[in-house]
Amino acid sequence: MFTRRTLLTSTIAMGAFAMLGTHRALAQQLTQDEVFNDKDAPVLGNPEGDVTVVEYFDYQCPYCKKAHPIVKKVVETDGNVRLILKDWPIFGDVSIFAAQAVLGAAQIGKYEVALEALMKTKGKLTHEDVESGLTDAGLSMTEIAASVNKHKAQISGLLDRNYNQALAFSFAGTPAYVIGSSIYPGVLDEKGLVDAIAKARKTRKP
């Protein structure tokens, strides 16, 4: 475990080192633990799973939303995968608003309901689209707003960390995946995802 952690850390550090000299300090701080075990990031799939899939995504990124049912299906079928969806809002204010709202909902036990509601939306969103998406799924914007305000430090902290990690990985955009000790920029189809999980599992148990 220790050696793999070191490996990932040094890979990340190397990548970020050459790419973003200015983010050197940041990259050196990034560890596997921060990427896979952020205490504020909700975990889907099997929390005890032996492989972790981390996806950096945006609620307005069409390919993230299109690929989401596939990601869910693969994780469910496998049964032994932890899935962490990390918000990396790249489409401006509405994306940040959506991310904050869903993370606020998570604090009142409605993470999956809120997440799935927004993943079902189409393309570009307005603040109103986000709100109606959430209320149509039976959620109360008043409760969500209260929760976001109550946990704003925690939520902002998580979003800041996600953003810093995406930069440290030099991801080109969303979606981007970290699976085991490999990174995958761009959408993965079903086979790609299954293969990536298998490979992560193989390197984990040599």
Partner 1 sequence: MRFAQGLAIFLSLLSLVGAGKAQSASLPLAAPLQMDEAFRPSVSRLAPDRIAVEWKIAPGYYLYRDYLAAKSKNGSPIELETKAGEVKEDPGFGTTEVYYISAQATLVGWAETVELTYQGCQDGGLCYPPVTKSIDTATLEISDLVRAPPTTAQSSGDPTSSSVWATRNAAAPSFALAADSSTTEVDKLLAGGGLPLLIAGFVGFGILLAFTPCVFPMYPIVAAMIAREGERLTPKRGLILSSTYVLSLALAFGLFGLTAAWSGQNLQTALQSSAATAVIAGLFLVLALSNFGLFEIQLPAVIGNRLSSSRRLGGSVAGAAALGFTSAFLIGPCVTAPLAGALLYIARTGDMMIGAAALFALGVGKGIPLIVIATVGGKALPSAGAWMAKVRTVFGFVFVATAVWMVSPLLPDGILLLAWAALAVTFGMYFAGLKVNRDIAAARVLARSAALLFITWGALLLVGVGLGARDPLAPLEPLRARAATVEAATVAKADFRRIASTEDLAAQLTAAQSEDKASLVYVTADWCVTCRTIERSVLPASEVSAALEDVRLMTIDMTSADPKLEELLRSLEAVGPPTMIFFDQQKQEIDGTRLVGDITVDSLTASALAAGNQQP
Stretch 2-31 residues interacting with partner 1 (CB under 8 A): 7, 10-11, 14-15, 18-19, 22-23, 26, 29
Nearer Cβ to partner 1, position 51 or 64?
64
Smallest gap, in angstroms, from Cβ of residue 115 to partner 1?
16
Check: CB of residue 11 under 8 Å from CB of residue 44.
no
Check: CB of residue 44 under 8 Å from CB of residue 112.
yes
Smallest gap, in angstroms, from Cβ of residue 83 to partner 1?
18
Chain CA centroid to CA 153, Å: 19
DSSP bridge pairs for 87 = 57
Residues 6 or more apart in contact with residue 91 via CB below 8 angstroms: 58, 59, 60, 61, 124
Smallest gap, in angstroms, from Cβ of residue 162 to partner 1?
9
CA angle 180, 185, 190 (to 5 degrees): 70
Nearer Cβ to partner 1, position 48 or 66?
66
Give the span between the Cα atoms of 28 and 14, in whole angstroms.
9
Choose one: 70-78, 108-116, 132-140, 154-162; the region binding partner 1 (CB under 8 A): 154-162
**Among the listed residues 36, 59, 97, 111, the single contact to partner 1 using CB under 8 A:** 97
Nearer Cβ to partner 1, position 48 or 178?
178
Between strands 44-45 and 81-87, the pairing is antiparallel
Choose one: 44-52, 73-81, 88-96, 110-118; the region binding partner 1 (CB under 8 A): 88-96
Nearer Cβ to partner 1, position 48 or 153?
153
User: Residue 149, Cβ neighbours under 10 Å: how many?
Assistant: 11
Smallest gap, in angstroms, from Cβ of residue 137 to partner 1?
18
Which 101-140 residues touch partner 1, going by CB under 8 A?
A: 122-124, 127
**Among the listed residues 6, 37, 92, 204, the single contact to partner 1 using CB under 8 A:** 92
User: Residue 49, Cβ neighbours under 10 Å: how many?
Assistant: 18
85 touching partner 1, by CB under 8 A: no
Smallest gap, in angstroms, from Cβ of residue 81 to partner 1?
16
What does the radius of gyration of the chain's CA atoms come to, in whole angstroms?
17
61 touching partner 1, by CB under 8 A: yes
Nearest to 104 by CA among 144, 64, 76: 144
